[in-house]
Amino acid sequence: MLKEFKFHHIGYATNSIADTSSIYIAAGYAASNIIKDHIQQAKICFLSKDANPCIELIEPLHEVSSINKILKKIGVAPYHICYEVKDITMAFNELIETKGYIPLFRPVEAVAFNNRLICYLYKKEIGYIELINK
């Protein structure tokens, strides 16, 4: 299944989008506007630079944001790879049923992606992945 997935971005947990993005901006990356996603309880900013992977910075919006758990566990760091898929429901079900992935939540709309569906899954051999519907 992963061979059909298209790389989309690297997700990076941070306590401060401003602090983390300033380092990337100094290295030539351009930053998007910061988006507040109340479903994910996070602030999100995308960093882009020609011929480089897109980076998604995720900052907790509140104390109850799941990003806080990641920050407490590993600190400011990349924590997921996102893949774009043609059919998120089919990919989600296949990864769970035949590949042994553990779902963190079923596909939901994401403000940062113009309300396209996203979901997160986990597998101990590769860590967290995010899927985004094409």
Residue 123 pLDDT > 80, yes or no?
yes
CATH value at residue 81? 3.10.180.10
- Give the chain's length: 134
How far is residue 96 from each of residues 17, 31, 50, 103, measured CA to CA in Å? 32, 34, 34, 7
- Residue 3: per-residue pLDDT: 81
| Domain with 93 in it | 2-133
* Domains: count for the chain: 1
Instruction: Write down the mean pLDDT value for the chain.
Output: 94
- Nearest CA to 89 out of 133, 45, 37, 33 is that of 133
- Residue 1: per-residue pLDDT: 61
Q: Which value, in Å, is the radius of gyration of the alpha carbons in the chain?
A: 15
- Residue 88: per-residue pLDDT: 96
Q: What is the pLDDT of residues 25-59, one digit of tens each?
A: 999 999 999 999 988 899 999 999 999 999 999 99
- Residue 64: per-residue pLDDT: 87
Contacts of 114 by beta carbon, 8 Å cutoff, 6+ apart? none
Better-predicted residue by pLDDT, 22 or 115:
22
Contacts of 97 by beta carbon, 8 Å cutoff, 6+ apart? none
Measured in whole angstroms, the distance separating CA 74 from the mean position of its chain's CA atoms is 16
Residue 99 pLDDT > 80, yes or no?
yes
Mean pLDDT throughout 69-91?
A: 95
